[in-house]
Structure 1
């Protein structure tokens, strides 16, 4: 019972781990804190709004196909992009229990390990980074939605989204408002869910960096003061906030004080290993959460970028006008979404690979044999860095992003050759 209360308190203190704007995520019914089953009806209603706007576009494309190729391409881009949003929302709802477990594990890890002032500063840096990404994406969404809404004022476009429109008032205004509300909700949901994934990835990266920092200064006399507040709780009669005495850098006889120092150093190593095990649990939950969602995101983004450039190439050869600007305005957000997933995944790989260097940098030469054996096991365990994989084949790394760009360009070039003017 006591453990359950501590878990509840830890989760309540870590609500900001889920998303930079958790309050808005709650209002939309996508996050309900401790209640994994609560708010299901509201969340599925919100999903229905996103599914309706994409489904209506698919209906228009299939049963009332426009005669112009540019309009067909525009409808296809629209259906592809918002269908991916609807699937993303559905996966988030279905995996909300896994997300809750990840938040609990992160909250426990933050509360138990790395409690020094320097460690808290590291977490704050990553938290602010996630908030900045959310603000930038939010500004981009406002600009895109403004273009969609204002399109009918500049050109003969019947609404912000290409679905069926009635010819007369007030039915036209009603459909227009529905498009605006549903489309804005779907776009905002996409940004909230994306930034939730980004922030959770950054929080795992922060824990890896903290572990690297603590391992690197372990047993080093010149930086032992930074270890204050991180001593092991398993040492009888010792408080957690007692500084670890530095180990000597020259051979010394095995006195009682020296033996105590080495024992304290070993217990500090054990606590860092436990921190590493907690991080691995967080990473496994993160991997499970991203497995299906990121697969849909990457596949739809590659297809959407190709569709966007193809539409632009068609419209540039005709009088595209506002449609051309409207289509091109969505490309930066799609590329940015894919790029940030790969970049943040690469950050996890980099911090994970750094663990071996940090372990070798600690004060192991003057430690006892037990410390060296344990450190060797840790080094062997970290020889395989943590990598987020998609579909068990694709890794979220910077080289993957470059491959996506190259593949997109190849397909774009092929489509353009088919569409280009014939001599």
Structure 2
């Protein structure tokens, strides 16, 4: 939005500065986006109408782009938050064991005070031991089933998110890469030509926006991958060493599922990550260097 406001206000600011400098001659009227029409563009009210239409179109496109970006950012943050919750639930599955042990200790102490016969005390403790062990195994297994279902929901969500982002984001990344290259090239040529700094600054104002937009997608995609990579560690930290064979077998299947981290892939080949952001910067610099060499030799 800052780049759009600067772009739209540049012709008015430039005209005001030229008029204030007291230069001789009529100060030409310029539009934010140059257009050709079979009319006298600088005559009133044609100039004012065209200026209002261009302002409306630029602001509307900027708002649509901003809202779409925020929507995708929010979806990726929601997936990251769900993975964070899943990591916590998987890593704390063994805490139920501590509660069972405390309850068993309290039950044994109560039975020891109420029953004086040693045989009855031992029998009661043995029954309590068996009951609590079975309850612990069942409870732990049910927690694992709940976490597996949570993970499946996250996988479906990521698949839907990739389907929504695949075509649009890959086009956006290539457009941003070409925009970075084009803006850098034009800014360099205009600065060398020495025709003032208004037009170079206008073009340079869009460069931070392109970098910020591309970087946000790559950073949030990397956050999803980082949280999914923690699932293997969280699964190993749970109470599998004190559980039965059924739980261990199911946990092994779950660990095999989460062995491959979640990655948001766009265009079927590009993964949103820090490496992708570096590739966009590297591709922009390569194109800029190639076009600049061609411009220098021509």
Q: Which TM-score bucket, shorter chain as reference?
A: 0.7 to 0.9
CA displacement at 1:274 relative to structure 2: 0.7
Matches within 5 A, 1:312-391: 312-318=187-193, 319-391=195-267
Q: 1:158 to 1:379 in 2, by over 3 A?
A: same
Give the unaligned 5+ runs of structure 2.
16-27, 104-124
Q: Is the 8 A contact 1:346 1:397 kept in 2?
A: yes
RMSD (Å), alpha carbons: 2.3
**Structure 1 counterpart of 2:33:** 161
Q: Is the 8 A contact 2:73 2:217 kept in 1?
A: yes
CA displacement at 1:219 relative to structure 2: 1.0
- 1:200 equivalenced with 2:72 (yes/no): no
CA displacement at 1:247 relative to structure 2: 9.4
CA distance in 2, matches of 1:382, 1:284: 15
Asked which structure has the greater CA Rg, the reply is: 2
CA distance in 2, matches of 1:164, 1:245: 80
Q: Is the 8 A contact 2:77 2:220 kept in 1?
A: yes
CA displacement at 1:371 relative to structure 2: 0.7
**Structure 1 counterpart of 2:296:** 420
- 1:395 equivalenced with 2:255 (yes/no): no
Q: 1:419 to 1:152 in 2, by over 3 A?
A: farther
Q: 1:169 to 1:277 in 2, by over 3 A?
A: same
CA displacement at 1:180 relative to structure 2: 0.6
CA distance in 1, matches of 2:102, 2:152: 26
CA distance in 1, matches of 2:102, 2:167: 48
**Structure 1 counterpart of 2:108:** none
CA displacement at 1:143 relative to structure 2: 5.2
CA distance in 2, matches of 1:378, 1:246: 26
Q: Using CA pairs under 8 Å that are at least 6 residues apart, name the structure with larger relative contact order, 1 or 2.
A: 2
**Structure 1 counterpart of 2:25:** none
Aligned residues: 259
Q: Secondary structure at the match of 1:317?
A: helix
TM-score normalised over the length of structure 1? 0.58
Q: Is the 8 A contact 2:91 2:234 kept in 1?
A: yes
When you count helix as a share of all residues, which structure comes out higher?
2
Q: 1:246 to 1:362 in 2, by over 3 A?
A: farther
Q: 1:246 to 1:331 in 2, by over 3 A?
A: farther
CA displacement at 1:326 relative to structure 2: 0.5
Q: Is the 8 A contact 2:3 2:206 kept in 1?
A: no
TM-score normalised over the length of structure 2? 0.81
**Structure 2 counterpart of 1:71:** none
Runs ≥4 residues deviating over 6 A: none
